[in-house]
Structure 1
Amino acid sequence: MSLQIINLTKKFGEQTALNNINISIDKSEIIGLLGPNGAGKSTLMKSIVGALKIDEGEIIFNEKNISEHEIESKKNIGFLPENNPLYLEMYVKEYLQFVANIHKISEARVDEVIELVGITPEKSKKISQLSKGYKQRVGLAQAIIHQPDLLILDEPTNGLDPNQIIEIRNVVKEIGKEKTVLLSTHIMQEVEALCSRVILIHKGNILQDCPIDEFKGKFGSLEEAFASYTQTETVSVTEEINN
C-alpha cells in the first residue's frame, strides 16, 4: 500500500481548508490525524476517498492518480465518516449483504465481519433499532468488508461508552497489523493506544508529521503537546496580523 498526497490545496470560496498538504505513507501502520475542530481533517479524508473534488495538487494511491482511477481506488479504500450514514430501515445483515454485493463479495465474508465487529446478536435487527455503539460497529463493518488496503476512520469511537470504545479499538488494532489506518480523533488516549505516527493539522496546514514519541517529545502528555503546538501556531498567526 502506498499513498502520496502532493501539494494538495482545497478551498471553499475564500476560505482555504487545505493549504499545500504533502503526506507520504508507504507501509501498514495506524496514523493519528489530529487537529482542532475546523482544522481540515475531514476535508483531507474526504479528498482522499474521492468524496471532494481536488482543486490543486494530486493524490496517488497505489501508484495511480485517484482522480483518473476513481472507481479502482475506491475499491481499495474503506471509509467511516463522522456522521456514519446508514440505511436505517434495512436490517443489519441485509445492509451488509447489500454492501458486499456492490463489492462482489461472498456471504461468508459478511458473516465473518459481523463476528469481527461484535454485532452477531444484533444482525437480525433493523439498523434504526440499534444503539449508537452498535450503529458505529455496523459502519465499521461496511468500511472493512471488502478488506481495503487503506482504512479511513473519522472519529470512530465518538459517543461510545468505555466498553464499546475498548472493543472498537481492539478491532482497529487488529486491522492495523495488516492494513494502513488513518484515524481522526480528539481522544489522546486513543492515539496513544493505537497509533505509531501522528499528523497534526491546524488551519489547513500540517504542523507535525512524526512518530508518536517524537510528537510527545518533552511534554508530559499528548494533550500538552497538542495544546502547545496549536496554541503556538495561533499566537504566531496573531502576531503576523498585528504586525
Structure 2
Amino acid sequence: MLTSSYDGFIRLMDVREESFNVIYSSDDSIFSLAQQPLNTSVYFGEGEGYFMGWDQRAGKVSCSYKLHDERIDSIDFNTKNTNVMATCSADGTVCLWDLRRINAREPRKLKVHQHDNPVRSAYFSPSGNCLATTSGEYSVRVYNDDNVVEMPALGNDNQLGTWVSNIRAIWGWDDSYLFVGSSIKAYGIVSVPQKTITAIHSPQMNAIPRQFATHPYRHGNLACATGRGQVILWTSE
C-alpha cells in the first residue's frame, strides 16, 4: 500500500513487516497519488500543479510536467484505456490527457472541463465511459463525452479549508451510483440515471464524512472516513 501526505513524503507499507518505508520525499506538499494499471511507476501531484512520476524499480523520477496552475487534487486512469488519465486542480479545471503524448515543452490536453471553483476530485466510472467531478459548487457533475449533468447535493459546503481533506464523490460498483459526503453528517447515494440523491444517517457518524472506498470484491460494502478520525463500515445486508 502506498500513502502520500502534505509533508512531502510517499511511503510504501510492508504488510508482513508492519512498517512504512519512505520511497520519495520533497520539500513541496503532495496532494494526490495514483498508479497506472500494469505499470511500476507511481504518479502524484506535487506543489503548484506539477505532475510527477516515480519509477519504483529504478528508484528515480521518471517524469515531471507542469500541467496545472495550482495544486493537482486527484489523478485517475481510465479503465477502458489506461493511457488516458484525468487530473483536477484548484485552478478550477479538469483535464484529460494521453500519458504517452505528454511532453515538458507543450503538454497537450485531450479535453478540458471548466468549473467556477476549485475541483477536488475527478474519477472515471467503472466502465470508463463517464467522469464524475466534485468541486466547490456543492454538487457533483457527471460527464459523458461532451454531455454534462449536474447532480443533486445534500447542502454541502465544500470549501472546507486548504489543509483539510475535502469531500469527494466516488463511484460505486457500476456506472449507476455515486457516494458523496455532506456537511449535514450524512452521506448521499446519488442515482445517476434518476438524478436523485438519498441521505443515509447513522448515530455513529458524528462528523462530516469526507473519504469513501468501496470493497473491490464484496459489493455493498463501503468504508467511510470522517473528519474526526473515524472509519465507519457500511453494508447493504
Q: Same fold (TM over 0.5)?
A: no
Q: Which has the higher helix share?
A: 1
Greater relative contact order, per chain length (Cα 8 Å cut-off, separation 6+): 1
| TM-score normalised according to structure 2 size | 0.28
Highest CA radius of gyration, 1 or 2?
Answer: 1
| TM-score normalised according to structure 1 size | 0.27
